[in-house]
Amino acid sequence: MTGGGGAAGGGAPELTARQLNRATLERQMLLRRVYREVPDAVRELAALQAQEAASPYLALWNRISGFDPAALDRAFADRAVVKATLMRMTLHAVHHQDYAAFYAAMRARLRSGRVGDDRFTVGGLTGDQADALIPALRSFAGKQQRTGVEIEAHVAQQLGGPRQGVWWALKTYAPLHHAPTGGPWGFRGRLAFRAADRAWERVTREQGAQLLAQRYLAAFGPAGVADFAQFTLLTQGVARAAMESVGTVRYRGPGGRELFDVPGKTVPPEDTPAPARLLPMWDSTLLAYRERDRIVPPQYRPVVIRRNGNVLPTILVDGQVAGVWRVLGDAVEVSAFHRLPASAWAELSTESAALLDFLGERDPRVYGAYHHWWVKGIDAAELRTLP
């Protein structure tokens, strides 16, 4: 395994694209399933994309040996893991002790992305006026779990009447957690919220960004400043300062690109075997880098990452996206973008049987709402139903 380098530049070790791929797979627990408690796994993985309720569960099923979805249900209910709008202004599941730092790092970006939007400004309020609503909102949501409808009515009462776009903005950048509402994956129907505790107020943006960078590199490194900025939507300046403060190990990537890493992490050999996997929609490994080709071959990116932001459930073969999958009836339909060896199909068949067993009575038709992408056409070199 490759060890750490020193200062960036000509003396830093150079890594191949395949080594970087294997590093990501290892840190994302995709080279082998491991034994972890759910909150510990979430922290080690930095953050799980959670805008589709099933995705954190399927992400952990791919990574944790013997994963019980009820363990994540309990973690959400007990707030050991919290779901909130954070990086890239999308929902993520994160360890509760990391939320304060992550939110402190992201708050300014979350706020600017909403109060400068026409969907907010049409209501006639300024950003400062919206900010002034947050203490009462926190108090209202802190006494008991509240639905979005209840909070929107509360905000309207504070303003003396409804104002378009105000709650739309606040539910993104106010310190709120999404609360479980039941259903197969813990969250269904009307949104519900709980107030986050005030720990984030004791964390500066710089301190928050440093911890976020440390978690990011431990989960996705080695990586560059542009990668971290893409993952978070922090500015390049904030991203660089945070990366340089914690990424004391340096490498050179393909083309001489400067890469950072945290001490104590290693890079697997590029010939390390990588098993087939059935990744969920919006799996973080597909979205963690500016250049997606660490995991997603460029020619497949438009099929997998759609223009409206949907990221389809994908198959990994030899560590790279090689197709997409969906559940049809009592089978998994796999559309492979290129012809796969028999050994890969055998692995995918085993994974498909395990996935169907995992879904069981919880949600046998997972992601069924996204089948329109298949109706529009998936260009497949091979199409099989498994197992």
Domain boundaries, the chain: 1-272, 296-386
> Do 277 and 59 meet the contact criterion of CB atoms below 8 Å apart?
no
Residue spans of alpha helices (H) in the chain: 17-27, 38-44, 55-61, 69-78, 96-115, 118-121, 127-131, 134-143, 148-159, 166-173, 205-220, 225-232, 236-246, 301-304, 342-359, 372-376
Tokens of 35: 């034994």
Torsions phi, psi of 13, nearest 5?
A: -60, 145
Tokens of 7: 């200062």
> Do 230 and 130 meet the contact criterion of CB atoms below 8 Å apart?
no
Strand order in the sheet with 48-49: 48-49, 91-95, 81-85, 176-178, 192-195, 146-147
Query: Cα separation of 149 and 263, whole Å?
Result: 47
Tracing tokens 């083309």 back to the chain, one arrives at: 255
> Do 369 and 53 meet the contact criterion of CB atoms below 8 Å apart?
no
Q: What is the largest CA-CA distance in the chain?
A: 66
Question: Does the predicted TM-score (pTM) go above 0.85?
Answer: yes
Torsions phi, psi of 209, nearest 5?
A: -65, -35
Tens of each residue's pLDDT in the chain, 387 residues: 565 554 445 578 999 999 999 999 999 999 999 999 999 999 999 999 999 999 999 999 999 999 999 999 999 999 999 999 999 999 999 999 999 999 999 999 999 999 999 999 999 999 999 999 999 999 999 878 999 999 999 999 999 998 999 999 999 999 999 999 999 999 987 899 999 999 999 999 999 999 999 999 999 999 999 999 999 999 999 999 999 999 899 999 999 999 999 999 999 999 999 999 999 999 999 999 998 999 999 999 999 999 888 999 999 999 999 999 999 999 999 999 999 999 999 999 999 999 999 999 899 999 999 999 999 999 999 999 999
> Do 215 and 43 meet the contact criterion of CB atoms below 8 Å apart?
yes
> In terms of C-beta density within 10 A (0-12 exposed, 13-18 middle, 19 or more buried), how is residue 7 classed?
exposed
pLDDT in tens, 165-179: 999 999 999 999 999
pLDDT in tens, 312-350: 999 999 999 999 999 999 999 999 999 999 999 999 999
